Structure 1
């Protein structure tokens, strides 16, 4: 296998099956998120209710994260992944019924919102298991020496599904309505569930099967907080995503500031992911392993600048460009962060480390949505987004100065060591 083979991970059959499952699942999940955000704002015309969507998901996702990581490290990964997908399909089916006039035609708006929030809450519970399971499964499918390549393709697939799902959802709402769009989501999740069983069961590599939950979580947290490279990367992304959460307010910008409707809403969402996926495909040819720490800091600083420009913009084309380049910078940071986690995490602790990652970064998406909703309610949407971008720049500067290990991180030697050992 060529040392810098950009298609190294794609030469593994099971990895391609995994990518197909992930694409179908994330495409549907991305569509569902867009539809929920659109429907909630259409029903309420209040950005605070958009923030509540994020809050309803972050509560279970955050509180269950560490326990979920313990379970993932103790269980067989393929079947656990399938179980999560099956449960998620029930949530999609429930949302399908909540947007069906024959079911909720006589319901009050508040009643519909309550049931939407309940389903979002259970979705957050499931998400606490999805991240650690996927992270652990990748490491069981590909050899260690191509972890960076696999992480890039996996992240690219996630972004490709996000961009196409967001874009399709925006147009689909306009063409066939919210209800039928959610029917498509349910079909995609069901497809992902079926294809998952083409992946073989994987061995459980944890030498401490049966370890108590308390001891397991203590070991996992101790590892993360003692590893400055991992802790720095997670902290940096957490604060950037928390305060750079302009995405949560895109429905407000589309309807009330830029006046571009559902089609423009889909384009705004998609522009972020288009930038990310183009960047991540480029990184398969131009790896970011050398001076990874500096590149991570620079990319998130650039992300903050793009968010500030978007907050000031009242022109649709300028907003699209700003979001596109926010996606470019976010794509670089995502590849670097995933590579750091894959390379620096021992096999038997992947579930717990990925759970901490979901607490730091994944949950901050929803907490960021809540923060953005509150800030938009108090300051107005434009000022809220600008404030978030400024906080992102301050965070990058602070972590860059204080965390020397992250600033000087270079992953080249780690990868060369894996190749030398034939792993």
Structure 2
């Protein structure tokens, strides 16, 4: 099936239960087992089914199946936020003494998580150039467990050299993790380009209304074979898990990555998604393709407007033919569309603040992917935790303004930006 159809029907059989057309909300903490043997079988993985909502939930299961199908993956795990999805994905393969390689173009929250917080767990992060992966391979060693990057970065709006990153990773037996939040599954499927694991903040375009916090992890098919081929590196999957009856994950005929994240991390840490949030995301997922098309069309029109404005010094949007990432956007993204994020530079920091404070239709908000258009100053908000040196490395300037273009009429958006710039 095509993605538009999957987004409406995937993971749910309306002929089961009461035949409800809408996916029901299973708003419960726990589940009654048929008997003690049934309970034991579920915990031993001899039978599959709901055990406790920290581990699994029927409503969330529909969303996981649907999202996995959208991304062309084998399985998915819903978690409480996009940050949780990144943390779980890294913690699932890395431990004290290991290192990870992260893109130089990342969301500020991901940077602080992966360079500061995770360092306290004994995991070291090293930065590589995602634009061309020119210094990636030289940094890989036998302790490198994962390569993490964004397909379309926030707020630099940069497109990674995904094909080259994957090629280097496969040659060196290192897991790849791609954050596909901005591009979305409607425009790009990293797994089809060889990526191993995909993460999303579903709080963004998947929700599209700024009403839900959520995250998701999707794994490609065949990861068990990858772990077996690199058994000495990924011992978490190839040796007995003493916390789960000596289970060896690669011996279980289920997708390994999400299984371990569920039975180990979700079980012990508990950053999982509430059933109501899963239900809300199921509703908004149905219109994802339509919305992302409109976000992309609107963003291109606004980017062209800004490019011609005398007070704008530079515009970053891969949909523009003049953008340095235009060719990559044409290569990777459906119909060459580049989602709804734009960043642009003005004359000074004070001018950036003045423009943001003068906007009327654009709301000053740090979220992205809403139906409403948003404006923010990344250097003093989403990336404010970074030093000046770190800001320079990730490509965030004091003069940069980020826009998340919504679904409004573009003439109204242009009029608002015109009055704010003048």
Fold-level similarity (TM above 0.5): no
The structure in which a higher percent of residues are helix is: 1
Greater C-alpha radius of gyration: 2
TM range (shorter): under 0.3
What is the TM-score with the length of structure 1 in the denominator?
A: 0.26
Point out which structure has higher relative CO (alpha carbons under 8 A, 6+ apart). 1
TM-score relative to the length of structure 2 = 0.26
In terms of fraction of residues, the more strand-rich structure is: 2
